[in-house]
Amino acid sequence: MPILWAVENTSPAVLHAYDATNLATELYNSSQAPSGRDQFANNKYITPTIADGEVFVGTPNSVAVFGLLPAPAASFAPSSVSFPNQALNTTGTAQSITLTNGGPNGLLIAVLLSPG
């Protein structure tokens, strides 16, 4: 998919990525990241440059580099658990699972419930 990169000259500046086949579809912008991780200084003559899968944006005193983050390194201990047959409306024995993130980035944990 072709991507159009554009910089919004605000303070802080915002890098936008759009689907080049449909500019109404924004894929990413640097203000989406938590805690200002992707913020950079504004400069009204900015031209993003793309090389080796990264986007480089010049600022008055630095270069901001954007690219894919490494995948989280999540692991579970134990790696599996088994639940014995349990009579309806009774409580079974609790089991613990430890989730460890050994990577440099945070994990988003979501609970998906299916109906029924």
pTM of this prediction exceeds 0.85:
no
Say whether 4 sits in a helix, a strand or coil: strand
pLDDT of residue 79: 84
Query: Is the Cα torsion angle 20, 26, 31, 33 positive or negative in sign?
Result: negative
pLDDT of residue 37: 78
User: Which pairs from 60-66 meet CB under 8 Å and 24+ separation?
Assistant: 64/15, 64/38, 64/40, 66/15, 66/30, 66/38
pLDDT of residue 33: 76
Residues of the chain with pLDDT under 50: none
Domain boundaries, the chain: 3-66
